[in-house]
Structures are given as C-alpha cells and as structure tokens.
A = this chain, B = another copy of it.
Amino acid sequence: MGYPKDAKLLIIHADDLGVSHSENEATIAAMEKGSVNSASIMVPTPWFSEIAAYATSHPTADFGLHLTLTSEWKHYKWGPLADAVPGLDNNNGFLYSSVDSVYQSASLAEVEKELRTQIEKAKHFGIDFTHFDSHMAALFGRQDYLKLLMQLGREYKVPVMLARTGPRSVFNQDLTSFVTDKDVLVDGIFTASPNDFKNGMDKFYTGVMNTIKPGLNILIIHTAYDDKEMQAVTIEHPDWGAAWRQADYNFFTSDACKKLLKDQNIRLVTWREVRDKLLR
C-alpha cells in the first residue's frame, strides 16, 4: 500500500450499523468527532434505510457490508431478505439467533441467495461499500461459507475481512490452495471479549494500542448509546449489550484515545484505501 514496512496501520471498525437508531447515531458521532474511521452495515435490519441515507450523502465515509445470517436479540428481530430461503428461517419468519442453527439448517445455495440479495440491495440504495465482513463471524466458521464469501469479494472487487491468524484466519478452514495474492490478508484483528469488558474497556483498548505490531491491523468495536432503545434491544444480554457499546463509544471519542494513537505512531487507514489501492 506504499507505507514503510514498519508502519503500524490500523482500521478502527464499528460493526452492526442499521441494528438500531442508537447504534447509527452513536457510530456516526464516533466517526465524525472520534477516532472510528470505518464501519459496516447490516442490510436486513430495521434501521438500514437510515444509515444508507447517511452513507450516500457522505460518500467518502468508509462503510462495508456486515453480511448477516442471524438475528440474535430476544425481542427485536429481522428476517432474511431473500424469498424462499426456509433453511435461514427459524420458523417464525426471523433469521436464527445462533450461528450453529444456521449451520444445521441452511444450504449453501440459500446462504448465497441471501448474501446476494443483501449486496444487491445495498447497491440499489447507492452504497459504495468498501469491504465485506460477517455478522457474528458466521461466514468464517465453515469452509463452504468462507469460500463463498471470498468469491463474492472477488466478484464485487472488495476486500473481505480475512486474517492470517486468529479466529478469522483463512487458513483455519484449510483454504490455503484457494487463497491468491489478490486476497487481502490482515495481519492482526483485535476485539474485546466479555472478560475484557469486565476488566474495563479502557484498559483493554490501551493495551491493544500499546502493543500493536507493524502491518495492517483491525480493531473491531461496537458503538451505541446506553439508552432505552439499546437497553431494550440487548435485554438479558450484557455481553455486547448497551453499556458495553457506550463504553466503546466513550473510549473512541476520548482525547486519551487520540493521544494514544499519536504517541504510538499508529496510522489510521480505511478499507476504502485498501480496496482502491490493492483491488481496483
């Protein structure tokens, strides 16, 4: 990408746009005023139209698609967008809550139909998406799904959030022979666990910033407000819940975060830059 070999490159990436007004509003604020510089959109969610309108009116903002096969919250649900994908439907008209249920029920053809419907809907709304990733990492846990995701990335000429190592490693699924030098592989992906949340998000993110290595790194976060809407969305689910998302918002709009990035010589890059320099 034209950076020195020892450059510490980082994408600070907020997931789950579209899920709620709270998530949209907080993430937009964290991008405009804070250090978040990339985000991804869930096309089947109820607030998709709101973030699509923002994306098309802010064409330089960096938005990818958070391709979605699950609807995980208790009382607030969405269904698949494609017609006639019974293997993705939990028998209530909604996507399944868990990734395991998707793996047990959905055929690869149904997954492909649903992903293409989501991608084409985003295009139809005018979103110039910069990358693909996968909600709840559903597309990373099976070789056939991951191969499909990589094929879609090549077809639409956008990078997929794939890593060399860790849970999103393309090599976990024995796809070594499938990977080409056109596939972008990220050097490090970081995201907070429930344990990190318990120990304090500031501590976790400060630790990531202080130890980040040269190469292309991604920090996956979730920014929303700890408000009534988000509390109701995430009810009975403190992990990745409203307080968690507020803590992410607080850290990534703080001066402390900006200072850390500067002190550690971390250079923020976007998926748009990756896409346009490496794939187009």
Please report A residues at the B interface, Cβ cutoff 8 Å.
21-22, 25, 46-50, 53, 74-79, 81, 83-84, 92-94, 121, 124-125, 227-229, 232-233
Contacts and interface: CB of A to CB of B under 8 A. Distances in A.
Nearest to A94: B49
A22 B76 CA distance: 13
A76 B46 contact: yes
Given A21-B229, A21-B232, A53 B81 contact: no
A78 B229 CA distance: 18
B21 A50 contact: no
Given A121-B92, A121-B93, A229-B228, A78 B46 contact: yes
Nearest to A45: B46
B21 A47 contact: no
B77 A48 contact: yes
B75 A47 contact: yes
- Give the copy number: 2
Q: Which 9 A-B pairs have the closest CB atoms?
A: A50-B75, A46-B46, A21-B232, A229-B229, A83-B83, A49-B75, A49-B77, A83-B84, A81-B93
A46 B77 contact: yes
A21 B228 contact: yes
Contacts of A227: 228-229
Contacts of A48: 77
Contacts of A74: 49
Nearest to A50: B75
A74 B92 CA distance: 26
A92 B124 contact: yes
A12 B95 CA distance: 35
A249 B48 CA distance: 29
A234 B205 CA distance: 37
Contacts of A76: 21, 46-47, 49-50
A78 B228 CA distance: 21
Given A46-B46, A84-B83, A228 B75 contact: no
Given A49-B74, A49-B92, 19 more contacts: A21-B76, A21-B228, A21-B229, A21-B233, A22-B228, A22-B229, A25-B228, A46-B46, A46-B77, A47-B76, A49-B76, A49-B94, A50-B76, A79-B79, A81-B93, A83-B84, A84-B84, A92-B121, A92-B124
A75 to B, nearest CB: 4
A65 to B, nearest CB: 15
A99 B81 CA distance: 23
A81 to B, nearest CB: 6
A124 B49 CA distance: 29
Contacts of A25: 228, 232
